[in-house]
Structure 1
Amino acid sequence: MIINKFGFRSNVKSVSLSVMDCSAGMLSISLFKDLLKVHKNSVALVLSMEVVTPNGYNGKVKSMHMANILFRMGGAAILLSNRKQDKHKAKYKLQNLVRTRLGSDDQAYQSVHQQPDEAGKVGVSLSQELLHVAAKALRTNISELSPLVLPYSEQLQHGWSVIKQKIWFLAGQKGTYVPSFKKAFEHFCTHAGGKAVIDAIEDNLRLHKEDAEASRMTLYRFGKTSSSSLWYGLSYLEAKGRVKKGDRVWKIAFGSGFMCNSAVWKCITNLDPNLRNSWSDRIHLYPVEIPEVCDH
């Protein structure tokens, strides 16, 4: 549809990553990162979107109606380039991308599972173990990302706490040291998959309320827009004028399979907060106080 609408050349390489759930956007970035290493002087267009209509469940199993309730339509377009002449126009540079998949674990694989009910109606079943699986995937992902982004002082403190845990006479100490990721990143765009998901990430990473503000406001205004929610969150930070040149943004996305993917973007230009985006018409009204009873 995009190729036809905009009349792209016949040699444009098109890839569809449909049915890849909430991680599709990050998987697309990963794919084109590798492609742009091979194809020099090239530009890539990523369209990250959620289309709920084809996957609507019309059966009678109440628990499988969760997907109908949770998801909302949403989309974002991202332009990537490896051309030298585009450097002065680019907003961000991709510094790190780490992908984690726990599909070999049965509990993780079945935590978000598409299957037919007894009447043959296909729907998505969400396990009660979903948050536990997400936490495990996040820990695994962080263990690979941390050496790439954390200062040595934080790595040493974490490593020493792990060693002390394993020494028998110090086995009673409370947990291991959780590194301060605020020393590695200025901004966080976490998966806006629900209040419980955002709360869990905030708690596990020991973030402050303002660190998760962009994700909470994205969920409050747009709902669960799947893979595009990370871009809505980044647009929120830009509209607020918070992202400065040199700042690093950590994006965290989850998906069925089960997957956890991280991307680190560095701002390489002075952003104009007055440029229009999805928040421009009402950014002055945010943040808002979200009632505890309100949970998307």
Structure 2
Amino acid sequence: MHDCVKVNGKQVYWHIANHQVPFYVGLAILYFAYRRKAPIYLIDFTCYRPPSSHRLPIAMFEENSVLDDLDPESVAFQCKIIAKSGFSEETAITSSLAQIPKVKSLALALDEAETIMCSAISDLFWRNNINPKSIDILITNSCVFCPTPSLSAMVVNKFKMRSNIMSFNLSGMGCSAGIISVSLAKDLLRVHRGSLALIVSSETLNLNWYTGKVHSMLLTNCLFRMGGAAILMSSKVNDKHKAKYELQHIVRTINAQDDQAHRCVYQDVDPENKEGISISKDVVHVAGDTLKKNIASLGPLVLPLREQFLYVISIICCKVLYRRRSSIYTPNFNLAFEHFCIHSGGRSVINAIERSLRLRKQDVEASNMTLYRFGNTSSSSIWYELSYTEAKGRMKRGDRVWQIAIGSGFKCSSAVWKCLQDVTPDNGSAWRDTINMYPVQVTDMKIS
């Protein structure tokens, strides 16, 4: 049966049968449903907890610095930094670095990476009853340790994963690599719908412990400690009921076009040809500048219209009306987020971000306590902070979390998550049996 309509006085026949219309409507619905961005869920995550035998008390750190044949000036410098680091006596390093003399080798570095990564993955799989062969996407990241075969290949081998798994290994991405990995997983999960992605964030200390005398390179010995995390993400619609969080936004900023930013955290060799990572005095300033650019992109996505309006008006007043006589308004980010996970790169970094964003002390509690208990664990630190918030029983359905990670490049990355259900404190987390001790008052250490 054909229908017709008149166009400019002429009869034009409609050659689609009436009973076929629902078919095309259905196709259109399916098309637009597929085109809609698939939700990305964070099912669960685990953080590696080093055994107590790997602890590096402050007194041991000082003694090892002396026995490493460092000159008195370098020893005094390290002791001064560690005293102000905000660390407790519980931070850990791999056992090979606690020996005198220190033992550094590729075999020991591989053993350290395998211990951290596989322990975190095993806990994650066990807690969620996951078969390793069900993982479709694998992403590993470690900033300065990049062996061959890759760390992702090591994970595939240890857990006997499928031969067609999509595996990626990110290196050289700094402490922001954890969120960069989440960004990559998000894109892959939306292309390959109904898939599971495993992210493993870690750092290896053995080969990267600096044994020279350049102060800017000695800083890494005072800041970085042993740690890692495994994260399970999904684009399966049926996983929503068991997922903890849904990904809302990811914003990435890189400032590498600026020479000062590019060089402020830099791997190099010293005059004695000893390799290390130099951290410039400009790192706090560069981090703040890169964070501002990141916030400028994130703000319109998360802030209420009133806060955005006040921010824009303040810029106009500052640049047009009063020039430098008035300061730019800092939006109230507590109206957009209930929880903050700021990369625990150091006390100065956390304090600078706290001031620049006008955050409350409770907003940076998770960051300060993670730095105190575990030290700077590089790209995995934001997951220790999220675990701290969960262990405190503060994560409720509907809460919004802002993860901020900064790292070499110079880069700043933000991830925004929405909690899908009240999170019950887990007795198996990295904070097990110690969470009631926190928060504590952090003061400078006394070094003899």
TM range (shorter): over 0.9
CA distance in 2, matches of 1:53, 1:44: 28
- 1:33 aligns to 2:186 (yes or no): yes
Match of 2:260 in 1: 107
CA distance in 2, matches of 1:4, 1:121: 33
Match of 1:80 in 2: 233
Match of 1:145 in 2: 298
CA distance in 1, matches of 2:427, 2:435: 12
Paired AA for residue 158 in structure 2: K
| CA shift for structure 1 position 270 | 1.9
Match of 2:165 in 1: 12
Q: TM-score, normalised by structure 1?
A: 0.96
Paired AA for residue 258 in structure 1: F
Note the residue ranges of structure 1 that are not aligned, 5 or more in a row.
none
Determine which of 43, 64, 67 is the counterpart of 2:217.
Answer: 64
> Root-mean-square deviation (CA), in Å?
1.5
| CA shift for structure 1 position 62 | 3.2
Paired AA for residue 216 in structure 2: S
| CA shift for structure 1 position 13 | 1.2
Q: TM-score, normalised by structure 2?
A: 0.64
CA distance in 2, matches of 1:284, 1:78: 25
Match of 2:420 in 1: 268
Match of 2:251 in 1: 98
Match of 2:197 in 1: 44
- 1:157 aligns to 2:315 (yes or no): no
Q: Deviations over 1:255-278 (max 9, x none)?
A: 100000000010011211245311
Paired AA for residue 87 in structure 1: K
| CA shift for structure 1 position 123 | 1.0
Match of 1:177 in 2: 329
* SS state at 2:382 partner: helix
Paired AA for residue 204 in structure 2: V
CA distance in 2, matches of 1:173, 1:105: 28
Q: Deviations over 1:5-36 (max 9, x none)?
A: 21101001111112322111111101111111
Match of 1:210 in 2: 362
* SS state at 2:431 partner: coil
Determine which of 365, 374, 386 is the counterpart of 1:234.
Answer: 386
| CA shift for structure 1 position 144 | 0.3
* SS state at 1:242 partner: coil
Q: Deviations over 1:189-241 (max 9, x none)?
A: 00100000110010000000000000000000001101111000000000001
Native 8 Å contact 2:198 2:232 kept in 1:
yes
Match of 2:437 in 1: 285
CA distance in 1, matches of 2:397, 2:423: 7
Identity of aligned residues (%): 55
| CA shift for structure 1 position 134 | 0.3
Match of 1:131 in 2: 284
Paired AA for residue 50 in structure 1: E
CA distance in 2, matches of 1:252, 1:235: 15
CA distance in 2, matches of 1:290, 1:162: 37
Largest Rg, 1 or 2: 2
Determine which of 251, 258, 274 is the counterpart of 2:410.
Answer: 258
More contact order relative to length (CA 8 Å, sep ≥ 6): 1
